[in-house]
Chain A
């Protein structure tokens, strides 16, 4: 009886993926405890965030992909309208206009766009029966450009690029021609010097610092320099949990959020990093498998994009903390402290699970 109820409750939860997520979230709590200077309050707060995020995951997993397909357009339009509202009436914090005050709380519409963007494009190609015609790609490109431009204007370069890439994944999986991809790559490289020459001196300086943190060791470069020292000094097996000197001696900034990977890396070393990369790889492979088995154009494009987007976040964060990518404000998925990004991530995983568990129903 109880096992039946259990089966019924979790019939749309993918046990394999769920186990992976469970391990990642458990890791997050351990690293956070260390990064926050043994703060139980932080752990408690993040546990609450996880509860909310997993509930969202459960709810979304129970919604069929067909229903998701029907709300894709609405979500997209709503997202764009909210972004316009942000541009017009948004509140400013740290020099950027990203939040919308709706009385009792503040919302960040760019978060909604992370899911709405791939859904919209997946819907668009599904409704065109997946035909990779040039016109379709031009229209899709425009649909992608509008929110990306609005978010770039906030300014939030990191998020806008990641949303652009989530849309790009749909285009790529829908069959964007190789010739076009090659052409875009070449023209992008060709435009670089022209773009560079159009910048002001101080803008150039900022970009240079982005790529070479040692140019500004007291300012923007400080984060990266300290993070690399933390990672490097972790060695093969790490200094051990709660023993990272860089971490515990306040050298590392933003330890619980964007730079949490440096904490993990210092305390668990190369071995820990490899395990984490493996865990992320397994999650990504599972997602790609779900995408390849999905039975509608919408489902597979969406599943593919969500999975690859998860990869982008992980890669960009670890890349920036270890100094091979410029520093942009991107948290490490599933590990960094913070509710919003966790909820968005779990929403994505919920969709993946929904696509996976509903396919048999369609087949039947």
Chain B
């Protein structure tokens, strides 16, 4: 008992010692605060008194110039120009409502302008100047300038605006900027970039403008301005200049882009051309397209309605988000799968009666040629696009080993390309069906017949034009997958130094050279007399490896005939075409999809040919040449144009 009491007393004594130490620490730290207060409030009082009362310091952000977007030859795709804006600094204005009313008697101020002003005012400090009207013309600017003395706190400023000089050309690739909205603000706050956007009111919304936002925007500068009691700026105390955004330089060529887009005529569709060795995107077409300039300062509701409700869906970024059945363009990859699995090593051949049946079933899987192709080996099967051959091959391989092989060519997964596709959010990954997928999606087992039609790129299989081009590039590059990318160089606007963005190897499929050779030979034969795209290869001056394809838009019942003439144009088959060239040492690989274009060889193929001709030979298609000629001579008579280059066989 005695010892315990002693212990207790000892413990209490020790505890009090510790409390004493804590009290000392409390005292010291409070003394530190007291010292700090005396420093700020007694010693530095005059300094802060000056800052706070007689003069108010205001920080004026200086917006950096947004970086340019250029094509590979330096042609400007996106730049900035100055325009007058009328801006109000609320802190300097006595009665805002009255001031705005008086302004609107001089220059037009729409209800949209008022709404925008109100929104900005809620988001900014009182001493920041906020635009009430943008894009004043010379007359309006002069009118206001004369009356400026009546409006203290209102100023005419010249601000930078974004412009896309090529208009509709390549707009799905370039994208556009738009006004910063609440969601952008939230994202900026979360990424910690909000303060860098003080004073800025635009941000990249789609395409390259969005993906490269960080590089293009630059760093906001600011001026510390001393303002007297009446709100007039007295002098600039310090100034930190803004750092302009970097310029981004594409691998694409605007002339090639123009040729590709013109080649589509009135057709809807998509084209992606890639350099298989580097992954650089040479051309990126989504037809129809739209004018990104409409979006820069807020699109008006009429134009928006027209774009958004159009049946042609011009706002859809087809290469990235459009999904289509690959049709016969899938066959070279199926063939390679069969060869690599050792299922169809030459001289294996079949006799094609014009249809395929599953053992013990009567259902006929028809070949596109009802009479059959006779004796067909694997190379010929590609060349003439023999359905029967691939029905049997797919069946024998089985759905799982087939899909797991072709997945290496980028099917069924996102490529991660560098346009509005931050963390793969915009890109459609397409679909490579598997029994598990079907069970999950439809709660149904997989049927053998579904494997059969996967062999010819039908059924559930879906690809994006970008995936198809990428797969073609991987094949052309003998199995080495380069990550596709739009931008080849980034140029520092400050130092002028250009930095190449390095090619990235995304995947590497180990393929036997003999097998690749067989598939490639088959694809070269496609463009030679007797192949399905002989007309495309005619008189090319370089060798082309290609594959045509047709994808059904609506199902055709057994024993029913496909009747083109009696159909709605939007129900016609999609035309597909993949190719790379020169076949021996490919520098371009592409995929073309023409919606409702019926036959790959006749509608999609010629588009591809024009693109390859220009890319490899610098040859401008006849109709283009005619247009240039017209511009040169000033001759407006369309009849002087030579006929379009003959491409039929």
Contacts and interface: CB of A to CB of B under 8 A. Distances in A.
Given A172-B18, A288-B23, A322 B36 contact: yes
B22 interface: yes
Interface stretch (B26-34, B105-113, B444-452, B638-646): B26-34
B41 A273 contact: yes
Nearest to A234: B41
Contacts of B220: 218
A315 B30 contact: yes
B19 A274 contact: no
Contact of B195 (A220, A231, A315): A220
Interface of A: 94-95, 130, 169, 172-173, 175, 202, 206, 216-220, 222, 228-236, 245-246, 249-251, 265, 269-270, 273-274, 277, 280-281, 284-285, 288, 291-292, 297, 300, 304, 308, 311, 315, 318-319, 322-324
B197 to A, nearest CB: 9
Nearest to B198: A218
Interface in B35-83: 36-38, 40-42, 44-45, 47-49, 51-53, 56-57, 59, 61
B44 A232 contact: yes
B505 interface: no
Contact of B14 (A175, A318, A323): A175
Contacts of B26: 281, 284, 308, 311
Given A172-B22, A288-B23, A322-B36, A233 B126 contact: no
B42 A236 contact: yes
B190 interface: yes
B16 interface: yes
A323 B39 CA distance: 12
Contacts of B61: 218
Contacts of A273: 34, 37, 41
A57 to B, nearest CB: 23
Contacts, number: 128
B585 interface: no
A280 B30 contact: yes
Nearest to B34: A277
A229 B194 CA distance: 23
A222 B27 CA distance: 30
A95 B190 contact: yes
Contacts of B14: 175
B476 to A, nearest CB: 38
Contacts of B42: 235-236, 270
Which of B33, B189, B220, B222 has its CB near the most chain A CB atoms (within 10 A)? Answer: B33
Given A235-B45, A250-B126, A273-B41, A173 B18 contact: yes
B265 interface: no
Interface residues of B, number: 46
Nearest to B190: A95
B487 to A, nearest CB: 22
Contacts of B52: 229-230, 232-233, 245-246
B400 interface: no
B6 to A, nearest CB: 14
A281 to B, nearest CB: 6
A318 B126 contact: no
Contacts of B44: 232
Nearest to A305: B22
A18 B154 CA distance: 55
A173 B15 contact: yes
B11 interface: yes
Interface in B170-209: 189-190, 192, 194-196, 198
A173 B19 contact: yes
Nearest to A318: B33
Contacts of A235: 41-42, 45, 49
Contacts of B29: 311, 315
Contacts of B196: 219
Given A285-B23, A292-B16, A311-B26, A232 B33 contact: no
A243 to B, nearest CB: 10
Given A233-B51, A250-B126, A288-B22, A270 B37 contact: yes
A205 B67 CA distance: 24
Contacts of B198: 218-219
Given A95-B189, A172-B22, A233-B49, 5 more contacts: A175-B15, A232-B48, A236-B42, A265-B37, A308-B22
Interface string B1-26: 00000000001101110110011001
A130 B18 contact: no
A249 B49 CA distance: 15
A217 B239 CA distance: 12
CB-based closest 7 A-B pairs: A219-B195, A232-B48, A233-B52, A270-B41, A232-B40, A233-B48, A218-B198
Contacts of A230: 52
A232 B45 contact: yes
Contact of B59 (A130, A217, A281): A217
Contacts of A291: 19
Given A173-B15, A304-B22, A277 B41 contact: no
B231 to A, nearest CB: 11
Which of B37, B38, B57 has its CB near the most chain A CB atoms (within 10 A)? Answer: B37
Contacts of B23: 284-285, 288
B22 A270 contact: no
Which of B22, B47, B220, B222 has its CB near the most chain A CB atoms (within 10 A)? Answer: B22
Given A229-B48, A245-B52, A218 B22 contact: no
B41 A231 contact: yes
B195 A270 contact: no
A315 B27 CA distance: 11
A271 to B, nearest CB: 9
Contact of A324 (B32, B190, B195): B32
Contacts of B125: 250
21 contacts: A172-B22, A173-B19, A217-B224, A218-B59, A228-B40, A230-B52, A232-B41, A232-B49, A233-B45, A233-B52, A265-B37, A277-B30, A288-B22, A292-B15, A292-B16, A292-B19, A297-B11, A300-B12, A304-B19, A311-B29, A322-B36
Nearest to A231: B40
A318 B16 CA distance: 28
Contacts of A249: 56, 126
Contacts of A297: 11
B33 A173 contact: no
A10 B485 CA distance: 76
Nearest to A274: B34
Contacts of A280: 30
A324 B36 contact: yes
B61 to A, nearest CB: 6
Nearest to A95: B190
Contacts of A281: 26-27, 30
Given A219-B194, A245-B52, A281-B30, A322 B45 contact: no
A250 B37 CA distance: 22
Contacts of A169: 22
A233 B30 contact: no
A206 B194 CA distance: 13
A251 B56 CA distance: 10
Contact of A288 (B19, B189, B222): B19
Contacts of B34: 273-274, 277
Contacts of A250: 125-126
Contacts of A172: 18, 22
Which of B32, B41, B47, B59 has its CB near the most chain A CB atoms (within 10 A)? Answer: B41
Nearest to A319: B33
B33 A245 contact: no
Interface in B108-166: 125-126
A341 to B, nearest CB: 20
B48 A265 contact: no
Contacts of A130: 11
A236 B194 CA distance: 37
B150 to A, nearest CB: 25
A245 B27 CA distance: 32
Contacts of A246: 52
Interface string B210-226: 00000000001010100
